[in-house]
Structure 1
């Protein structure tokens, strides 16, 4: 019985860590829980062999991602037409795949603790940041997004991106564990890690206050663009039943809004209608001539002409006469929603998932031009990929950086869940990283305006019919992150490779005879307080 309890307690601690992870994330919004979510897992793996630490970390990751991504079940049911059991299996598979990050993190941290002199306080955030940069995910969910409500803390993203905020969150956890474990095991209080944490927080918060004040001064003197957002509260499946009615509703709401106040631009969500155009993408759309305002709108576009026929998820910009000013095709497609992996090789797969589209990925990164203003446009979940938005913000062939960012989204596939808030929170960091306002419009919510500091200054509800009008600043300039990208992530990858390489090298020497005692220590699962703290 004692052995059973001894094995069960670390597992329970890992499960608790996973629960704290998703409750502290965007959507559930208990952001302070992310400052302590790793403490149970640190306790669980403190005297485990690396392979057992991996298993416990993976367990925590599965719980955290299954709880945070529960809405994936509904997405698979509506988006891909899967029955409930297969949709639940899809969630489990996704949680297991994403949860591997925590398993590998726990393994690496334990290996480093046993075999090197590296301090856990620094190993933990370095390894986590390396994995967030390196690990491939269908839905990236950077830990730093949990802190979107704390603008003083998040302004470092214009230097080091959202990865820097993730690093800070794990660093806080590691310092707290270092102090707590030292007190539990030696009944002594260690002040040094807390002093380092205090210094780091003072620097981060001070930088945040300085940058917010500087950006606010820039915004106060900037030209403003009056933008109207149309949210009709029509779900993604509605277009299959009466697509013309959805278009007419957007049209009517746009005309009514333009009559109330002058607008520089009106924005619709993605995929509002279908349209066929020649490959030149030039021409006029008569239906937009009566709206008396430029419109940025989403459509399913089919290219016509010899050798063409490809279908794209496209954003189009039209002037008040309906003339097409520019188009942008989505390039980061949703697997099983906008294409099926290996579907080109095995076309029969599409017959098994009738609701899955078959889109062609876009290739252009050119901004759209409205008068003298340059607009960076992304579609759907492209705005949660920092490098994708950074590439769009480079300004294409001419290198003329856009003035404002726009995102056209359909979040209705996820129901009335936490996903729209998670999506918005992740997207809000693109404003900080690039110091541009972000305009996001969705068909069922949340549509929002995010200022260049990353604050959500106005927003709609979820599953509501609304219009939203606000003025957004036209800004120029760039940031360290926009110029150099994830330097912190690459540095952490190099440091992690060095640390793990050093640890595995020492383990190899131990097995050859020079370190037999140390090897026995690892296999026994004993821990070294000096190395673990």
Structure 2
């Protein structure tokens, strides 16, 4: 049955007509995609989504997202005829398949974590590599269905897709603890000029812009006037040029100023994950950290004499260092007076009678002495990696299963209400994050207490351990996402990773110093100053994004009414 015949069926919504293709090779491809059905349609959607993943770090091929989203538009065009229930069902299935392809191609490297302790976790590898994208693909199915509800012909459908997809990406980043990894806005968020827009409207604003720009060329294959076909693509090119122009103007000609009297030493030990948490390696691991910390970074420097702060990565030790006087004494002997150590470490709290011990994934500050200073406990834990979600905890443990991290009962989350700015002598106030906390745009700076002014940190600190994922795109994607937080907040980022990528990023997103993935080394570096004042995003959060969504909805509805 042709689209024209199906459009005559009773019970259609107003303007359920598909956008018909024009003539030419591109129009022929669009028509073929629109007329696809069944398994063929699902295969096209899945492959288009997988192609879109090439726009993410470390590849950064934005044209791949253009092709991917143009195909998505034509697939939704093909689902635009029929009764409402049938149309929405088709849209959900297309969106799920597109999202499944996108996430599987972008997150396949998660499988490496299941092979670190293969004898215990290899059986679950398909659950991470296929199961997670299959579940998260439902967000894209919902986004495609929302887009279809306000679908129309011409440019209006591009706004509809941006509304549905950007909204679903925001939900993916917030619901069920959230997982905003490889949000579509990262297609623009890895380019130095284009990422500056995050200072205005954050990652999700970049996401909406990326969808609008990448999907606009789909109209080139639509019948109608030349103006109707070409105007959306020209508008998208203009929007991209304006965003790049804003970014170029925002970037200063020279380097950002640095904080006086601060010299950081980032230690990247490059420890393999399968050896890192074996208690029998405790002495060797601690000695390795100390030896690296005291190593001269260049011939004209000696030991720790010219640094003020030494930084070690997440969960640096396979033991509870605050309960080990011998280890603390060894660190104290290595730290000259006045120097500070900032390190990731597991820590435990003494239980109340009748309770089991509580373990935290923490950042500790240690001075010579040794003196334990301020502590930050990780708030946003990784489900199944650091704890088993509540409803599944008892069931999975009864089956003899556990989370990846070998901590009895898993880690306990720090109190969000008590989340504090980390205070480190000699440093500006620190917005502390551990591991993937740095991928959440809204969780970098703690919320202000009732009646108090908002906290004003001077830097973002991210300690992480990406050794779970080896030499794959995962660690590179992690670094790129953490880097964008610096632009959003107008704060420098200091990132120390066990196997890399470690580095310092200034508040404009420029990498001032770094160590590559998979090498052992140290990095001596200054600390850039924060930007004066606060960025628009730091002040308003996702309010600008909400206004952008409302604008897309208004445009989509207006286009739909004009076509009715």
Normalized against structure 1, the TM-score is what? Answer: 0.83
Query: Could you tell me which residue of structure 2 aligns to residue 518 of structure 1?
Result: none
1:155 aligns with 2:196: yes
Distance in 2 of aligned mates of 1:394 and 1:424: 30
Q: For the structure 1 residues 163 and 313, does the alpha-carbon distance in structure 2 shift closer, same or farther, using more than 3 Å as the test? A: same
CA contact (8 A) 1:16 1:40 kept: no
Query: Relative contact order (alpha carbons < 8 A, sep ≥ 6): 1 or 2 greater?
Result: 1
Query: Could you tell me which residue of structure 1 aligns to residue 459 of structure 2?
Result: 404
String of CA shifts for 1:223-268, please: whole Å, max 9, x gaps: 4632111111112332333122111100111122483461121111
Q: For the structure 1 residues 277 and 338, does the alpha-carbon distance in structure 2 shift closer, same or farther, using more than 3 Å as the test? A: same
Q: Which runs of 5+ in 1 are unaligned?
A: 279-283, 504-527
Distance in 2 of aligned mates of 1:440 and 1:409: 8
Task: Give the drift of 1:149.
Answer: 3.5
Alignment of 1:467-506 (within 5 A): 467-475=522-530, 476-491=532-547
Distance in 1 of aligned mates of 2:104 and 2:233: 33
Task: Give the drift of 1:100.
Answer: 1.9
Query: Could you tell me which residue of structure 1 aligns to residue 221 of structure 2?
Result: 181
Task: Give the drift of 1:28.
Answer: 3.0
1:324 aligns with 2:367: no
Distance in 1 of aligned mates of 2:182 and 2:398: 28
- Of 267, 272, 277, the residue aligned with 2:311 is 267
Query: Could you tell me which residue of structure 1 aligns to residue 17 of structure 2?
Result: none
1:172 aligns with 2:191: no
- Of 465, 487, 499, the residue aligned with 1:444 is 499
Query: Could you tell me which residue of structure 1 aligns to residue 235 of structure 2?
Result: 196
1:70 aligns with 2:108: yes
Q: For the structure 1 residues 83 and 495, does the alpha-carbon distance in structure 2 shift closer, same or farther, using more than 3 Å as the test? A: same
SS of match in other structure, 1:46: helix
String of CA shifts for 1:1-42, please: whole Å, max 9, x gaps: x99994255334313311221122113332342233201121
Alignment of 1:277-292 (within 5 A): 277=322, 285-289=328-332, 290-292=334-336
Distance in 2 of aligned mates of 1:395 and 1:407: 27
Q: For the structure 1 residues 396 and 463, does the alpha-carbon distance in structure 2 shift closer, same or farther, using more than 3 Å as the test? A: farther
CA contact (8 A) 1:118 1:531 kept: no
Distance in 2 of aligned mates of 1:441 and 1:393: 27
Query: Could you tell me which residue of structure 2 aligns to residue 119 of structure 1?
Result: 156
Distance in 2 of aligned mates of 1:355 and 1:55: 33
Name the count of aligned residue pairs.
498
Distance in 2 of aligned mates of 1:22 and 1:320: 47
Normalized against structure 2, the TM-score is what? Answer: 0.79
String of CA shifts for 1:360-401, please: whole Å, max 9, x gaps: 111222322323621221111100011111327999977441
Query: Could you tell me which residue of structure 2 aligns to residue 53 of structure 1?
Result: 91
Distance in 1 of aligned mates of 2:529 and 2:261: 6
Q: Which runs of 5+ in 2 are unaligned?
A: 3-31, 80-86
Query: Could you tell me which residue of structure 2 aligns to residue 522 of structure 1?
Result: none
Distance in 1 of aligned mates of 2:519 and 2:429: 30
SS of match in other structure, 1:298: strand
CA contact (8 A) 1:393 1:402 kept: no
Q: For the structure 1 residues 410 and 240, does the alpha-carbon distance in structure 2 shift closer, same or farther, using more than 3 Å as the test? A: same
Distance in 2 of aligned mates of 1:491 and 1:40: 27
Task: Give the drift of 1:117.
Answer: 10
